[in-house]
A and B are shown apart, each in its own frame.
Chain A
Amino acid sequence: MSFVIECENLVKIFRSNPPVTALDNVSIRVPRGSVYGLFGPNGAGKSTLISVLMGLTLPTKGRARVLEYDVIRDSFEIRRRVGLLPEGFGFYDNMTALENLKYFGLLDGIPSERVKQRAEEVLEEVGLADRVNAKVSTFSRGMRQRLGIAQALLKNPEILIFDEPTVGIDPDGVMEFRSFIREVVKKGKTVFLSTHLLRDLGMVCTHTAMVRKGRVVAQGSMEELTQKMKSSRGYSYEIHLKPGDVERLLQEVRTLPGVVEVRVEGEGRVSVVGREDIGKELFRMLSRGQYSVEAMVSLKPEWEDLYRFYSEGGGL
């Protein structure tokens, strides 16, 4: 597996009074072609990491490479190959969408005879083909967001970095953004995004790093993180059955080896947590005991559960 972004013990301390450690020994590796989500609350250091990767801020210590280019020595080359949608980005409101993109496109190094065509292509890609000559000042927030994506796509980058891309976007916009990411990845690009809204983007990420107070508290694929959490916290199941059978089931389940917790969640709903995966044993028990079972569900942790688990030190 090749990696397009590699950080090794990255430290960033802002020399304020008192000094603020925004990044504390951050080490991550972003596989090529992945959708890598950087999750964490506001102030966790996500935007600082992105600034370091783009060469907008110098790291205090450590090493980082993007597409094999060093972030300190070769940041210019990185900016030629990476498209960024920064947090709190803006456009020249007095100019049209096309004028804005032509300006940025020229700076990206797109030849002047091709820049208009390229700008129109990306505007079409983000669904703004009918707003090409409209002044940006007339754009809604959602349209600005699309224009932001368009400017990041201009240089046809290998990596797209999105910093909090769904903040202030309506649910339709979030869904559109998710499908856009899927399309982009199909074209062989790598997407690196930061967000504090796990629910919005969690489902599109193939890999994640969870950040808290400048430190990476967990990283890996969703499956790896879930597996790790399960083996530490246990495997959860929920059984839906006739309310009259609940008491009998509670008594029998408690006798199963490996069960650590049995709880009534509501009328006819029992949750069972096992130290190991007790799914098969539970299923056999329910078949033998002639319970009126409506469903047996293996509970997968939500992103919020994962984040809570790892940020509380669960991964350590």
Chain B
Amino acid sequence: MTETATGKLPTVKRTLIIARKEFSDAVVSKRLWLLIAIFLLYYMAMVFSLSFSYSMMPEESRPTRITQVFMGASSSVSLIAPFLGIAFGYDAVSRERESGTLRVLLSRPVYREDVVNGKIISSIAVIGVTLFTTTFLTASATMFLHGITVDLDDFSRLTLFSMFSLMFAFTYFSISLFLSTFLNKSSHSLIASIAIWAFFTIIMPIVSMMIAFMMLGTPSFTSFNPESDYWKKYAELNYMTQVFSINYHHSRLTGPVLSKASKQDVLDPFKLFSQNPISLIALILYPIVFVMLSYIVFTRREEK
């Protein structure tokens, strides 16, 4: 057996070479900047419409100013985070397969796990940087314009919110990555990813609401009291029907993080986790399951 001029790289180094290349590709990609632009536009529209609707409310029932800012960030990030995940996952493997680069890549001394790991690391980095910077920049700018002073608790809330959103985006990334390893065409993977998003975001909440109304009857909106028996039962039913919805678990965790009743209201993360353990587990478990499935499918697949 003869030696070649090349050396044997450790797994970590191979993974990082792939991750670095993927990261550079992603940073200059049109899709990232398009999503950031959409996020900023949507965020501005949300802040404007929320301020308008809050101004119509009686002063005593208005949320605090900081909560208003948080709500703007929350609704924009909750919309954009899944798309960030999908944008970097849906063609992660299938595009390489379609363009013929996968065979060139796999003809090198790399394991398929290295390829998947490299793509995961770069995507977490890109999505993380995007979510953290956009969330912090937009929220800070809005608070500055409104003359709101920020304390450590506000900062912690934004950090925790960004972390949950990163996990949320990563869940969609892992689902799309799995579809990308499984399906031959990126277009099919994109359609399937968007269908899953639509199912969790649009169809499931409607179905859940319909089931609750069918079982509990139509609620009385004139005397809305979330502490009433009706709404407690509604919440229970909603939880049961949406227990598999990643969007639901994300909103269960981010909702309390971003609603600050007063300046004295300090977030206790441990209380939050102990009240919503299933949601936290879901945000951790979902991506693990889909990443594992991606490994299994990709490493066992015949790349003819």
Which residues of A line the B interface, CB within 8 A? 14, 47-48, 51, 54, 56-58, 67-69, 76-77, 79-84, 86, 88-94, 103-104, 106-111, 148, 151, 155-158
Q: Which of B172-223 contact A (CB under 8 A)?
A: none
Complex alpha-carbon distance, A82 and B14, angstroms: 18
Of A69, A84, A90, A157, most B-chain CB atoms within 10 Å: A90
Assess whether B304 is in contact with A107, with CB atoms less than 8 Å apart. Answer: no
Assess whether A151 is in contact with B103, with CB atoms less than 8 Å apart. Answer: no
Question: In the complex, what residues of B have CB within 8 A of residue A84's CB?
Answer: 103-104, 107
Residue of A nearest to B110 (CB): A107
CB distance from A190 to the nearest CB of B (A): 12
CB distance from B257 to the nearest CB of A (A): 39
Complex alpha-carbon distance, A285 and B102, angstroms: 64
Of B4, B7, B18, most A-chain CB atoms within 10 Å: B4
Assess whether A79 is in contact with B17, with CB atoms less than 8 Å apart. Answer: no
CB distance from B3 to the nearest CB of A (A): 9
Question: In the complex, what residues of A have CB within 8 A of residue B6's CB?
Answer: 80, 108-110, 155-156
Assess whether B1 is in contact with A110, with CB atoms less than 8 Å apart. Answer: no
CB distance from A48 to the nearest CB of B (A): 7
Q: Which of A69, A93, A94, A108 contacts B1 (CB under 8 A)?
A: A69
In the assembled complex, 19 residue pairs joining A and B whose CB atoms fall closer than 8 Å, in A order, are: A51-B302, A54-B106, A54-B107, A56-B304, A76-B109, A76-B111, A79-B109, A80-B8, A82-B107, A84-B107, A94-B28, A107-B18, A107-B110, A109-B8, A109-B9, A110-B5, A110-B7, A155-B4, A155-B108
Complex alpha-carbon distance, A86 and B28, angstroms: 29
Q: Which of B223-262 contact A (CB under 8 A)?
A: none
Assess whether A90 is in contact with B302, with CB atoms less than 8 Å apart. Answer: no
Number of B interface residues, CB 8 Å? 29
**Given A90-B100, A158-B2, A106 and B17 touching (CB < 8 A)?**
yes
Interface of B is mostly: loop
Given contacts A51-B303, A88-B100, A104-B104, 5 further A-B contacts (CB under 8 A): A51-B302, A76-B111, A89-B103, A92-B101, A156-B6
Residue of B nearest to A105 (CB): B6
Complex alpha-carbon distance, A11 and B100, angstroms: 26
Residue of A nearest to B98 (CB): A90
Q: Which of A67, A79, A92, A111 contacts B108 (CB under 8 A)?
A: A79
> Is B55 an interface residue when CB atoms closer than 8 A count as contact?
no
CB distance from B30 to the nearest CB of A (A): 11
Question: In the complex, what residues of B have CB within 8 A of residue A51's CB?
Answer: 302-304
Assess whether B4 is in contact with A80, with CB atoms less than 8 Å apart. Answer: yes
Question: In the complex, what residues of B have CB within 8 A of residue A79's CB?
Answer: 107-110
Q: Which of B58-83 contact A (CB under 8 A)?
A: none
Q: Which of B105-132 contact A (CB under 8 A)?
A: 105-111
> Is B149 an interface residue when CB atoms closer than 8 A count as contact?
no
CB distance from B68 to the nearest CB of A (A): 42
> Is B25 an interface residue when CB atoms closer than 8 A count as contact?
yes
Assess whether B304 is in contact with A104, with CB atoms less than 8 Å apart. Answer: no
Of B100, B103, B107, B109, most A-chain CB atoms within 10 Å: B107
Complex alpha-carbon distance, A156 and B5, angstroms: 7
Q: Which of B86-108 contact A (CB under 8 A)?
A: 99-101, 103-108
**Given A14-B302, A107-B14, A88 and B7 touching (CB < 8 A)?**
no
Q: Which of B4-50 contact A (CB under 8 A)?
A: 4-9, 14, 17-18, 21, 25, 28
Q: Which of B2, B4, B103, B111 contacts A86 (CB under 8 A)?
A: B103
Complex alpha-carbon distance, A56 and B303, angstroms: 6
CB distance from B122 to the nearest CB of A (A): 13
Of A51, A106, A148, most B-chain CB atoms within 10 Å: A106
Complex alpha-carbon distance, A69 and B103, angstroms: 20
Complex alpha-carbon distance, A86 and B17, angstroms: 22
Residue of A nearest to B28 (CB): A94
Assess whether B101 is in contact with A109, with CB atoms less than 8 Å apart. Answer: no
Complex alpha-carbon distance, A1 and B99, angstroms: 40
CB distance from A311 to the nearest CB of B (A): 23
Assess whether A56 is in contact with B7, with CB atoms less than 8 Å apart. Answer: no
Question: In the complex, what residues of A have CB within 8 A of residue B103's CB?
Answer: 56, 84, 86, 88-89
Residue of A nearest to B112 (CB): A56
CB distance from A296 to the nearest CB of B (A): 49
Residue of A nearest to B5 (CB): A156
Complex alpha-carbon distance, A304 and B103, angstroms: 30
Report the 9 A-B pairs with minimum CB-CB distance, sorted nearest first: A90-B100, A109-B6, A86-B103, A84-B107, A90-B99, A80-B109, A107-B108, A109-B7, A79-B109
